[in-house]
Amino acid sequence: MRLELSLASISLLALLAVLLVYDYLTFRGRARHMLALETVAFLAGAWFIAFPATASELAHLAGIGRGVDFLLYPTVIWLVRESLLTRRHRYEQAERVSELVRTIAIERAREIRAD
């Protein structure tokens, strides 16, 4: 394992640090499990940025040609999954809001009739 720090890798490491600090300050006290997961993911990302040969070694062990592919395949799968889950969540929220609006409209209509 050899530490390889170019200007690009230093910039990426700085970006990871800034994003983590920003999210920590923004979500302080809330979403602790999200921050913990983000920290673990960012530490793993920082490791692969600082030691890029590690990704290549793992890729070869898994039978994948390039280290970047080894990292990108699961990332793309995860992002597609998150996109689908977010879409489903938005749909469910819209259904709940519609039901709430319907209930409020019916209640107000009953109040108007009673007056």
Domain ranges of the chain: 1-50, 66-115
Q: What is the pLDDT of residue 97?
A: 97
Amino acid at 40: V
Amino acid at 35: L
User: Residue 27 above 90 pLDDT?
Assistant: no
Of the candidates 67, 53, 57, the residue with the CA atom closest to the CA atom of residue 2 = 53
- Distance, in Å, from the CA atom of 16 to the CA atom of 10, rounded to the nearest integer, reads 10
Q: How many other C-beta atoms lie within 10 A of the C-beta of residue 86? A: 10
Query: Could you tell me the pTM of the whole model?
Result: 0.69
Averaged pLDDT score across all residues of the chain: 92
Residue 96's φ and ψ, nearest 5 degrees, are -65, -40
User: Residue 115 above 80 pLDDT?
Assistant: no
CB half-sphere exposure, 29, CA atoms < 13 A: 0
